[in-house]
Amino acid sequence: MDSTWINAPAKINIGLDVLRRREDGYHEVKMIMQSIRLFDRLTLTKSREPGIRLTTNLHFLPVNEDNLVYKSAKLLMEEFQIDGGLDIQLDKRIPVAAGMAGGSTDAASCMLALNHLYKLGLSKRQLMKRGLSLGADIPYCVMKGTALSEGIGEKLSTIPQMPDCYILIAKPGIHVSTRFVYTNLVLDDNTPHPDIESMITAMRNRDLHDLCAHLGNVLETVTIPAHPEIAEIKKCMIENGALGSLMSGSGPTVFGIFDDFDKAMAAKEKCRQLPYRCFAFVTDLYR
Ligand code: ATP
């Protein structure tokens, strides 16, 4: 086998809490992660010419060591002293810098595909350990599905699957700096922390309405005051039939949860009419 391809799914945060800022600057989090059926695609092809060559459909993305795909391929190729070279085509569909872990899922999928292509025999756990050295969200992106993520993202546990539903994604055409959001996050007695445990209980009971009643992301306390359009998009989704709506990650992507496909499609059109140049897309869960 000289070539293989893999779909790299985006994630949304059904719940996101930050428990504390550690002395080393990292944040201790408690997040419910959920993969959705919005994918980047990676195609890996062995080559006689040594080195890694990355190409992508997005001209503004780096294609050198600054790209997580390049980094993850290099990490495994060096460790296993793989002879010859590798051509990687990265077709991006997941919006960049959106809070949907686009780069992390690409890196995780690159490692999974390389493991398969070169028959390295690494287990998922072994890949997750290597992924963590490149980024806190990468171990989850190797695991995928519904998961609870704690620590700095490296402590992962399986939780009951999220009930079936439709997801409306809307990403306004604004830039949010993750660093800005975490730097300006205030953690004190007034901070509204989401109730992650109640969300897990709702998932166990397969109660979508109860789950939606508990959605929460502590990072909204920073991103929404800086970008009020995020609150407007949430409002638009709720007014158009979403059972719940939340910002994913540090933003600016907003998602809405629907129990009806037609309602989700109608809400998508409403979001597109907002003056925020929204990329809007209806999908469902990736198990
Ligand atoms: P997260 O949800 O983990 O915060 P994100 O969706 O906010 O991720 P990414 O799409 O991963 O952010 O991109 C963040 C930055 O990482 C971009 O500015 C981009 O230049 C860089 N980057 C490196 N590799 C990739 C990649 N494969 N895809 C997208 N961005 C990448």
**Mean pLDDT of each 10-residue bin along the chain, 287 residues long:** 96 98 93 98 96 98 98 98 95 96 98 98 97 96 98 94 97 96 96 97 98 98 98 98 98 98 98 96 97
Cβ–ligand 1 distance for 100 under 6 Å, the answer yes
Give pLDDT tens digits for 6-31.
999 999 999 999 999 999 989 999 99
Question: Which pair of structure tokens corresponds to residue 280?
Answer: 């809007």
DSSP code of 262? H
Question: Is 171 part of the annotated catalytic residue set?
Answer: no
CA distances from 121 to 96, 113, 116, 145, 154 (A): 31, 12, 8, 22, 22
Compute the distance from residue 82 Cα to the ligand 1 centre, in Å: 27
Q: Which two tokens stand for residue 67?
A: 């790209």
**Centre of ligand 1 from the C-alpha of residue 262, in Å:** 31
Of residues 111, 108, 43, 56, the one with CA closest to residue 82: 111
- Whether 137 sits among the annotated catalytic residues: the reply is yes
Contact call for residues 182 and 250 (beta carbons, < 8 A)? yes
pLDDT tens across 206-248, in order?
Answer: 999 999 999 999 999 999 999 999 999 999 999 999 999 999 9
Q: Is 96 in the pocket of ligand 1 (CB under 6 A)?
A: yes
What pLDDT, on a 0 to 100 scale, did the predictor assign at position 1?
79
Burial 255-278 (b: 16+ CB within 10 A, else e): bbbbbeeebbeebbebbeebebeb
End-to-end CA distance of the chain: 27
Q: In the chain, count H helices and then E strands.
A: 10, 11
Distance from Cα 182 to the centre of ligand 1, integer Å: 16
Q: Is 194 in the pocket of ligand 1 (CB under 6 A)?
A: no
